[in-house]
A and B are shown apart, each in its own frame.
Chain A
Amino acid sequence: MESNLITEDKQKNKLEKAFEILKTMASKPSGLIGLTIVLFHVVLALISPYIAPYDYKAISPNTMLLAPSAEHWFGTDSLGRDVFTRTILGGRTALTVTFFGSLIALLWGGLLGIFCGLVGGKIDDVVMRVVDAFLSIPWILAMLLIVSLLGTSTEVLIPALGFFYGKGIVRVARAATHDVIAKDFIVSARARGHSNMSIIWNEIIPNVRDAILVEGAMRWSWMLLGFSSLSFLGFGVSPPTPDWGLMISNARGLMSFAYWSVIAPIVGLSSLIIGINLTADAFAKALGIDRSTKAPV
């Protein structure tokens, strides 16, 4: 009974802590703007299927390339589809794929980085050289290869993106771990005879978690851009699924006279990226990691 109380207390503390961090983030204008944008996009992605005024795949030759009007707020595209509908739905895939992609990147990159940082020596050398080798391959080429071999389903895209964006996190996590393992509390745990797993779990992760999370948040926005680039090149989401990268790609030839069909997805994409960036920066500051003066550990 008593121990239950303690754990409950701890959970409450954790919630309180998260709330505290959110409050600090929102206390600065840039953080507040970032949070608002991200929240707006997330809410939009959740409710857009219910509020979309038209069917996103309804092709109609009568309404081709209409300028914005009361009926079609953002106009229509070359196939006569409503751009507003497609824009508010276009963030759904991108957000889902990149969110889970970032999670995967965080998990494998963070854990491998921490492990390498702790173990050091030859294992560390070998693993890091392999990671370096992957870093030297242009990711978009590698992605194209994977996608053309395995297809463009989300089951392929999520782990592939997660893999390629996790490489950078390995380095960050390893560097953060290096900072921590020089501290005496790690030496102390070692001298007591704790296992490596226990040291990683109890001593290192609580101390590098913040740096890695911030890095993950930054990677999220990069991954979003990367994912949209893939779609733009035709290797991301397949039509007729609405997607910003795909929409920009389809409309770019008509940009000179039907600018509306390209502006809406661009605004959607860039506002989300800016929002995530601002949020990540505010998050870092709230955690006491200042990205402007110091590399993320």
Chain B
Amino acid sequence: MNEIIESVKNLSIGFNSQKGKQISILRNVSTNIKKGETVGIVGESGSGKSTLALAMMGYIKQGLFPLKGQCLFKSEDLLKMSSRQLEKIRGRKIAMIPQNAGQALTPNLKIGYQIDEALKLHTDLNKTERDKKISELLNKVRLPSPETMAFRYPHELSGGQQQRVAVAMALAGKPDLLLLDEPTTGLDVTTQAHVLELLRFIAKDTGTSMIYVSHDLGAIAQVSDRIVVMYAGEIVLEGPARKILKEPIHPYTYGLLKSIPKLSLAGLPASMPGSQPQPGSINEGCSFYDRCNLATDNCKKNSPDLEHIKELDTNVRCFNYKELINQNNNLQTSITKKSNNSEANEVLKLKDVSISYAKQKFFDQLLNKISDQNPTVKDINIDIKKGETIALVGESGSGKSTILKSIAGLLKTKDGQIKFENDRILSSDLKMRNPNDLRAIQLIFQNPDESLNPNHTVEQILSQPLKLYFNLSGEELKKNIIDLLKKVRLGEFYMSRYPRQLSGGEKQRVAVARAFAAKPDIILCDEVTSALDVSVQAAVLNLLQQLKEDLGTTYVFVSHDLAVVRAISDRVAVLYQGRLCEIGPSQNVYKFPSHPYTEVLLGAVLEPDPDIKPKLVAEDIVEEKPPEKGCSFQGRCPRKIGDICNSEVPPWQIGENGNAIRCHINIEELASLQQ
């Protein structure tokens, strides 16, 4: 069991900058992968984790080259092999599962054919044996009805199923080592939990070693035996999974774990200051020096070596790790946030809102109406109080962003009303709204790379709402921009920068500043933290909370991440297929009894704790359209009671603790079922 199958020795990989300087992306990395072991490589974007993983299969991205060191696979150096030699190893000995299986599968070939190709290449089986093997593999990755599955095209499968096919293809050559590059990142919460479950099973069943690369400590915690933490191209901490997650002795890992919002904790996670240094800008001393609260003068001058600590079986790159050894009970803390005044007035009301994406028929176009009987979003009733943070939660396709768009006036509603302040009806068409209403509702988007004009400086970006709504110019405009930057904790010198010169967190701060420039009453946040690194996410969440407490803004917060929602929201609305399932104060929604769908979602959340395993209670089927009759969750509900679920829309029931649930099962019965 202790046989080492791949070992990386003093590996450095880098590139030549335009000015001819050599810049390293990986610096002096050494690690070993044992047979049958799953190693999680975790780090934020730009930490070099993918570069390391790819180098482990002898692949180096274009433009990069190895500076020194070796990648030994069974004592042969992969980096010195010719492509012919590598061909024999890739697929047969080392296989890879990509991040986005939808893009990795050839769209015009049936999946059976694609698996067959892999089998032809890597095994000596004949046609009948291969056919048998294909259904065996499809069975192994738990795809439904493997016989018919082989004759389907990739686009006929859901994201989770595509990922399973990719796993089957990787297993075709019976590899000794499986490389997984963020294999569950693009998947829904429940699907992700299922795929991880499968991977864990396969690792155990086949004895394959796995390298699991991810930014998500929750996913890593579920599969890994050992964890390698990367920071700025170096390994900063390496050891048994449990030790790393429960008692991290490197300040970066410690901070990272603290910055992850957890289901079990109400309140905001603590954030780490600063951001990861760019490759090439790393000077002497420890690369974590700027962000570390244990840093001493020694850390600034000398860079620590990876030190092996025998009693913990851990390697750590820190001079002061001893200070952390006894501190770890602090991990389970969070910043409590001020709760809002529940007596406040309602600022926005959604009344029976339905939204349809269906194309109007010619006749309907003439009459200017939409006659879709089964709209994407239906019967949404939410009253939003002034100063509260209400979260809309659900998987992809739940209609949460659609609702947000309608509130913003970007998407026409089919039925229902959006009422703003004192029951004034707000048109769902932007052009019909008056400038003051436009100012009052602002949006923050998911990806700041897309939401900031790349050709504008920060000054230009922020001046747009100020010019538009307040007609500011000259000195006054500049003063306001500086004030806004200060509000989001950015300095004045950011004014002349372009978005590409900023880090992800800084960009999102600019986007937040732009939304606040309008002095809005309501800010719609569309997955605002999901494109950010964990440590940055915590900082943005804290910033949003701080601004809200200072300015009394109302947030409508859309997210798929239940832990983030738990951290920031006062009230939660759970959506499935465009229908509300449950709504209530967040501390109650996260407690049982709850709607069966909420139960499924909560069960699938991955916590960065090896002791909390996800509870998989429902199949991860993907439904393309909401059911025409009955309960929206009927297709996947683990607690379905019978025909009534298919035929009648369930009534609202209000629990003792104040959250409303839409289910046919009596709420007290639900409580006893879920205990």
Contacts and interface: CB of A to CB of B under 8 A. Distances in A.
A191 B410 contact: yes
A184 interface: yes
Contacts of A2: 474-475, 478
Given A3-B474, A184-B447, A187-B410, A192 B465 contact: yes
B408 A191 contact: yes
B433 A206 contact: no
Contacts of B430: 190-191, 193
Contacts of A188: 443, 445, 451, 514
Contacts of A184: 445-447, 450-451
Contacts of A206: 453, 455-456
Given A184-B447, A190-B410, A207 B455 contact: yes
A200 to B, nearest CB: 13
A123 to B, nearest CB: 15
22 contacts: A2-B474, A3-B474, A183-B450, A183-B451, A185-B450, A185-B451, A185-B452, A187-B443, A187-B451, A188-B514, A191-B442, A192-B438, A192-B442, A192-B465, A192-B468, A192-B518, A193-B438, A193-B439, A193-B468, A202-B464, A207-B453, A207-B455
A185 B441 CA distance: 16
Nearest to B431: A193
Nearest to B474: A3
A189 interface: yes
A198 B464 CA distance: 10
B179 to A, nearest CB: 28
B409 A194 contact: no
Given A193-B438, A193-B468, 13 more contacts: A2-B475, A2-B478, A3-B478, A184-B445, A185-B450, A188-B514, A190-B430, A191-B430, A191-B443, A192-B442, A193-B433, A206-B455, A207-B455
A203 interface: yes
Contacts of B475: 2-3
Nearest to B445: A184
A3 B430 CA distance: 34
Interface in A201-238: 202-203, 206-207
A190 B409 CA distance: 9
B454 interface: yes
Contacts of B442: 191-192
Nearest to B437: A193
A3 B476 CA distance: 11
Interface string B394-426: 000000000000001110000000000000000
B186 interface: no
B435 interface: yes
A183 B448 CA distance: 10
B108 to A, nearest CB: 22
B468 A194 contact: yes
Contacts of A207: 453-455
Nearest 10 pairs of A and B residues by beta carbon: A206-B455, A193-B438, A184-B451, A184-B445, A184-B450, A185-B453, A183-B450, A191-B408, A191-B443, A3-B474
Interface in B448-501: 450-456, 460, 464-465, 468-469, 474-475, 478
Interface residues of B, number: 31
Which residue, of B443, B455, B456, has the highest number of chain A Cβ atoms within 10 A?
B455
Which residue, of A2, A190, A192, A202, has the highest number of chain B Cβ atoms within 10 A?
A192
A201 to B, nearest CB: 11
A187 B445 contact: yes
A183 B499 CA distance: 14
A185 B451 CA distance: 4
A198 B478 CA distance: 20
A2 B441 CA distance: 33
Contacts of B454: 207
A42 to B, nearest CB: 29
Contacts of B518: 192
A188 B526 CA distance: 12
B410 A194 contact: no
A125 B655 CA distance: 54
Nearest to A180: B453
B453 A203 contact: yes
Interface string B31-58: 0000000000000000000000000000
A203 B439 CA distance: 19
Interface in B240-275: none
Contacts of A183: 450-451
Contacts of A3: 474-475, 478
A139 B552 CA distance: 63
A202 B453 CA distance: 9
A185 B469 CA distance: 17
Interface in A161-190: 183-185, 187-190
A189 to B, nearest CB: 7
Contacts of A190: 410, 430
Contacts of B408: 191
A157 to B, nearest CB: 35
Nearest to A207: B455
Nearest to A3: B474
A176 to B, nearest CB: 13
A190 B441 CA distance: 12
A184 B410 CA distance: 12
B613 to A, nearest CB: 37
Interface string A119-155: 0000000000000000000000000000000000000
A185 B433 CA distance: 20
B2 to A, nearest CB: 48
A183 B446 CA distance: 11
Interface in A107-129: none
A193 B443 CA distance: 12
A3 B475 CA distance: 7
A211 B150 CA distance: 44
Contacts of B452: 185
Nearest to B524: A191
Contacts of B447: 184
A189 B435 contact: no
A3 B474 CA distance: 6
Contacts of B409: 191
A162 to B, nearest CB: 27
Contacts of B465: 192
A190 B514 CA distance: 14
Nearest to B511: A188
B668 to A, nearest CB: 44
Nearest to B456: A206
Contacts of B464: 189, 192, 194, 202
A153 to B, nearest CB: 40
A235 B452 CA distance: 50
A203 B460 CA distance: 11
A124 B434 CA distance: 27
A193 B468 CA distance: 8
Nearest to B408: A191
A94 to B, nearest CB: 34
A198 B469 CA distance: 14
A180 to B, nearest CB: 9
Contacts of B478: 2-3
